[in-house]
Amino acid sequence: MEGEKVGRYLLRRICMMIPVLLVLSLLIFLMIETIPGDPAEIILGDHATPEALARLRTEMGLDRPWFVRYGAFLGRVVRGDLGESLISGAPVLDEIKAKLAATMELSVFALAVAVVVGVFVGFLSAWKQNSLFDYLSTVGALLGVSMPIYWLGFLMIIFFSLHLGWLPTSGRTTATLSLIPVTGFYGIDALLAGDWHAFRDVLAHLVMPSLCLATVPMATIARMTRSSMLEALNQDYVRTAKAKGVSTGKIISVHAFKNASIPIITVLGLQFGTLMGGAILTESVFSWPGVGTWILQGIMARDYAVISGGTLVVSALFILVNLGVDILYAFLDPRIRY
């Protein structure tokens, strides 16, 4: 019975994604539509004759009204065809797969760092409210959210790479390292190959970008954890538990933390968006060959297929993660029933 309800809820939520994605695709399409120039100019380049341009425009259907082209665009997307990059000629879907693995590797690593450190710090400063640690973590979190990633990234490179010589400045691996990608997650690939040296190299390359990317979410998570923990600790049931003589450790871990975790999960879901946004900056500072730099280059080169395909996939991913977060609620909060 319960399982059936959850199943129906899931189905409804997934169905609700369709209109969201539709509106999204329309927005992306219209946004690209307002950019001056058109794909034909990009394909033929600077030396194109007006006749050749006109011919290609007809061929590509660019002379048809925008809603007709939007319909065609939708039709292709539904069939899983995101078109081909105007610049490199490679299918957008293939390109995005390779880039997505790089971005995911970085984001997952960064999110793990952000969650572990953020929750730990927030937890501790709520427990020891108004202590020196609490004050320091507040200042730290404030710095963390307001720090420009670009600036922080370069600061880290100057300190850890140039001064100390500990960590590499950029890229996913050392240029001379030969690692055959299987999953696209280089850390896993290195382990699969049993290449300890490569694994160390991959890890060393991950440290700075993921720390840099984790800064903002880490600070936000720490603040959120602190305030929701404080709120939970002031609840009646906590006082009751105390009165019953439950140990402090148990009160915090069982009674307070579980209830405090719901808003934290919400923030986590939203932070995924921040991570994706921050990834563009982090990726360009550390030359991380991921989705962020790829879309950015697409924008610079006005590669319409890359811009629309890339944005669509990243947004869909964001919506999926939020769906995942909503489902998690059900497990954490028995009051939420579907």
Distance of alpha carbon 50 from alpha carbon 6, whole angstroms: 59
**Closer CB to another protein, residue 17 or residue 167?**
167
Q: Is residue 39 close enough to count as binding another protein by CB under 8 A?
A: no
Q: Is residue 284 close enough to count as binding another protein by CB under 8 A?
A: yes
Residue from 3, 65, 80, 165 that binds another protein (CB under 8 A)? 165
Q: Give how far Cα 58 sits from Cα of 40, 47, 54, 62, 319, Å.
A: 10, 19, 6, 6, 36
**Closer CB to another protein, residue 10 or residue 56?**
56
Question: Which H, E and C letters describe the chain, residue by residue?
Answer: CHHHHHHHHHHHHHHHHHHHHHHHHHHHHHHHHHCCCCHHHHHHCCCCCHHHHHHHHHHHCCCCCHHHHHHHHHHHHHCCCCCECCCCCCEHHHHHHHHHHHHHHHHHHHHHHHHHHHHHHHHHHHHCCCCHHHHHHHHHHHHHHHCCHHHHHHHHHHHHHHHCCCCCCCCCCCCCCCCCCCCCCHHHHHHHCCCHHHHHHHHHHHHHHHHHHHHHHHHHHHHHHHHHHHHHHCCHHHHHHHHCCCCHHHHHHHHHHHHHHHHHHHHHHHHHHHHHHHHHHHHHHCCCCCHHHHHHHHHHCCCHHHHHHHHHHHHHHHHHHHHHHHHHHHHHCCCCCC
Tokens of 283: 């990726």
Q: Is residue 197 close enough to count as binding another protein by CB under 8 A?
A: yes
15-23, 157-165, 235-243, 251-259 -> range binding another protein (CB under 8 A): 157-165
Tokens of 172: 């996913």
Q: Is residue 93 close enough to count as binding another protein by CB under 8 A?
A: no
Q: Is residue 167 close enough to count as binding another protein by CB under 8 A?
A: yes
**Closer CB to another protein, residue 179 or residue 265?**
179
What minimum distance in Å lies between the beta carbon of 54 and another protein?
11
Residue from 77, 191, 203, 327 that binds another protein (CB under 8 A)? 203
What minimum distance in Å lies between the beta carbon of 178 and another protein?
8
Q: Is residue 87 close enough to count as binding another protein by CB under 8 A?
A: yes
Q: Is residue 37 close enough to count as binding another protein by CB under 8 A?
A: yes
**Closer CB to another protein, residue 6 or residue 44?**
44
Q: Site mask, another protein, residues 97-136, x = CB under 8 A?
A: -xx-------------------------------------
How far does CA 112 lie from the centroid of its chain? 12
What minimum distance in Å lies between the beta carbon of 75 and another protein?
25
17-25, 63-71, 125-133, 177-185 -> range binding another protein (CB under 8 A): 177-185
Q: Is residue 299 close enough to count as binding another protein by CB under 8 A?
A: no
Q: Is residue 176 close enough to count as binding another protein by CB under 8 A?
A: yes
Q: Is residue 227 close enough to count as binding another protein by CB under 8 A?
A: no
Residue from 201, 272, 275, 313 that binds another protein (CB under 8 A)? 201
Q: Is residue 71 close enough to count as binding another protein by CB under 8 A?
A: no
**Closer CB to another protein, residue 205 or residue 267?**
205
Tokens of 154: 């370069």
Tokens of 298: 């697409």
- Which amino acid is present at 299? I
**Under rule CB under 8 A, how many of the chain's residues touch another protein?**
52
Positions in the binding site for another protein (CB under 8 A):
35-37, 41, 43-50, 87-89, 95, 98-99, 154, 157-158, 161-162, 165-172, 174-178, 181, 197, 200-201, 203-204, 207, 284-287, 289, 293-294, 297, 302
